[in-house]
A = this chain, B = another copy of it.
Amino acid sequence: MPINKKINRLLQYRSVLLRLQDLGFGTVFSYTLGKEVGVTAEQVRKDFSKFGIKGNKKGGYNINELIHTLGDIFHKDHLHKVILIGIGNIGTAILNYKGFRENMIEIVAGFDIDPVKYKKKYTVPVYPMEKIDEVINEYGVKTAIIAVPGIAAQEVCNRLTNAGINSILNISPAVLKVPPGVIIQNIQIGNALESLIYQTINLDE
């Protein structure tokens, strides 16, 4: 149930490594990698150790190998198909985000209740809600992003889980109830901002 911090760190290592690779570096030390991500070198080595990732004593880690191994762990050998419900401002931002494809994630379709959206030109087709089941079956989609207003989120969520979706990224402010077995991850900007403001006020802690 607790969102796996280790997984998040590994993903961050990977994204830093891709940047370092781009810059032409061949190897990296745990210390450097940790500094980039904001964790200690021990943390980096420990994380790698858990996944059987080996470096070279004194020589650090080979960046190409490391990216390859992390790619295996995250199954970056094929595209992961995702659907997006709600093509409002946030939904559109997500549709336009280039970073997904680079990381082997593909949004295969968008859905919205507003017919205007079906005609507009997006990078992927946008359909009415009624077509959700069809698309899920056709593409074998397992993961969905909910970007509708809070008030509509639970209904959309039910529809998705009924259609066989087993993991949901919820970007609406609603707290969603899902059947057992369905994984849900919430991104609540309002909550994050309130938490940040609290920390700002109580800087001493």
The residues of A with any CB-CB pair to B shorter than 8 Å are 1, 3-4, 7-8, 11-12, 15-16, 36-38, 73-75, 80, 82, 88-90, 92-94, 96-97, 99-100, 103, 105, 142-143, 145, 150, 166-169, 171, 173, 175, 183, 185, 187, 189-201, 203
Residue of B nearest to A74 (CB): B198
Is B189 a contact of A187 with CB atoms below 8 Å?
A: yes
What residues on B are CB-neighbors of A171 within 8 Å? 189
Contact status of A12 and B142, CB under 8 A, knowing A173-B99, A200-B166? no
Residue of B nearest to A93 (CB): B89
Is B90 a contact of A197 with CB atoms below 8 Å?
A: no
A75 to B11, CA, bound (A): 35
What residues on B are CB-neighbors of A197 within 8 Å? 74-75, 80, 82, 105, 143, 167
A196 to B93, CA, bound (A): 19
Closest 9 CB pairs of A and B: A89-B93, A167-B200, A90-B93, A89-B92, A99-B190, A185-B196, A89-B89, A80-B197, A167-B196
Can you give 14 contacting A-B residue pairs, CB < 8 Å? A7-B199, A12-B191, A74-B198, A75-B197, A89-B90, A90-B90, A97-B173, A99-B190, A103-B190, A105-B193, A143-B193, A167-B200, A171-B189, A187-B192
